[in-house]
Chains A and B, each alone.
Chain A
Amino acid sequence: MPYDEFLERYKAAQRGWRLGAVDAAEALTALRGVVPEIEDARLRQTAEFLIERWAAQLSPDARERMERAQRIAAEAELDAGDARERVARLEQGIRGITAVSRETRDEFEQHALLALNEPLAQLANSWRADVGD
């Protein structure tokens, strides 16, 4: 199997999972099954690396951290209070998510968690203008 074909299958499965249409565990099993068919030995390693990345993201601990970080983000975005209160709450949210990211040593999981901070920072910057800081 050409590596590109594996990569297309991987992306399609990942996308199906994100749309709630694909069971990730089943998809990973299927993907693991085709790795030996990849012609290039070096790229077989890359395929295994990608599969392990996805599996790591699905681990109960990783999911718990992501769900907790998302709850923190939602609380930080609460549509209430004056500008100063909103900025403080958003910054607290960014701190909270950053703290969650430090609970794992997996740099890619950290990256996924920290990505949640961007809209909070954008929103804080908008409200900060009203505070006059």
Chain B
Amino acid sequence: MPLRQPATFDEFMRLQHVGAVNVSGADHSSWNGTWEVQPYKLTDDGLQVLGSAGWDHVIRYDEERVLRPLRQMFLHAGQLQDDATLLRYREALAVVYHENLHLLAGRGTEHADAEQDFRIAAVRALEEGVTESYGHETLDDYVDEFQLDLVAPGIKNVVGFPAYERFTPAAETLAYELGGLDNADRLEMLRRMAIVNATGKWSVATGVIADRYGLGDPRFAQERGIAERRITNAMWQHFGKLPDLSGLGSHLVFSRSCAIGRKAFEEGRAVAGQYFARSVSFGGVASPGRATSGWGSYSARGGPPYSGTRRAGGPERRP
């Protein structure tokens, strides 16, 4: 059931995290309830950051690009706007949703627990890639949670572009490949990674591979931790290369990013396969062959599978 439509900008800002939790099915948000205007100055020192989910669990937004459009949106609630204005509102809303997705965390963990790991290039790349891809594809669900199409009629008729061209194709490809091992589509795998912090995203990815390759077998109890570390490291080797794609033209960036996502998966699986081969010699576990899945419908309801409003869609083709 959607949240009550916020009547004011302030009410929406108070509830901003609830929409992200509801859409994604996350355990909780680490947000501490405080949002501030981004301290970076627009002109004084040349820094401008649209939003940030601080390690202190405060969210900071840029006044000009995020807060002002949203204030305007509520000020003119219910009025028809031109397409550019609607897209401006939507882009501002996308920043709010993105930052709130960053703050989602699994039970017993918090966003800030991942601060040290965020210094690792591969961890940053997956964090941003998953958050942006999932946020872009489920933004309409966030709109629905707050019934914002009543505040800004037509806001779902316009659509922007996801950011992070270097990271999103790799994240989506990894999600697709992981889904193939776990009978889940790409969007569901993105969701599972989106609802945990930056460290947890790699735990999810590694866990899917490890489980599928029989590392849950009690005979691996002593080794599972080391095996998962090896799987993660193998994938990090590839995701760590994503920032270096910046020297390429867009088409090459996209295809190389996809290739890195796939290669990371294959390398992680190869490490797991070494253990699987041993488990077969023990007496066998289920084959880790691909369980068919798909990309997930682009516009499918982004919430968890139990969502009553999730729309079915045919699997999309692989890139």
Contacts and interface: CB of A to CB of B under 8 A. Distances in A.
B193 to A, nearest CB: 16
Interface string A85-129: 000000100110011010000011001101111111111011101
Nearest to A17: B254
Contact of A91 (B47, B84, B161, B246): B47
A14 B246 CA distance: 20
Interface residues of B, number: 65
A20 B258 contact: yes
With a 10 A CB-CB cut-off, give which of A67, A70, A79, A129 has the most chain B CB atoms: A70
B124 to A, nearest CB: 6
A6 B244 CA distance: 35
Most interface-central of A7, A21, A118 (chain B CB within 10 A): A118
Interface residues of A, number: 55
Contact of A74 (B40, B83, B91, B244): B244
A114 B252 CA distance: 22
Contacts of B88: 107
Interface in A6-65: 7-8, 10-12, 14-21, 43, 45-46, 49-50, 53-54, 57, 63
B50 A114 contact: yes
Interface stretch (B8-16, B51-59, B144-152, B219-227): B51-59
A63 B161 CA distance: 14
Given A91-B47, A116-B163, A108 B87 contact: yes
Of the listed residues A16, A99, A114, the one surrounded by the most CB atoms of chain B closer than 10 A to its CB is: A114
13 contacts: A14-B161, A15-B316, A20-B255, A20-B258, A95-B45, A108-B91, A111-B50, A111-B160, A118-B52, A122-B52, A123-B119, A125-B52, A126-B116
7 closest A-B pairs by beta carbon, nearest first, are A20-B255, A115-B163, A19-B319, A70-B246, A20-B254, A74-B246, A49-B83
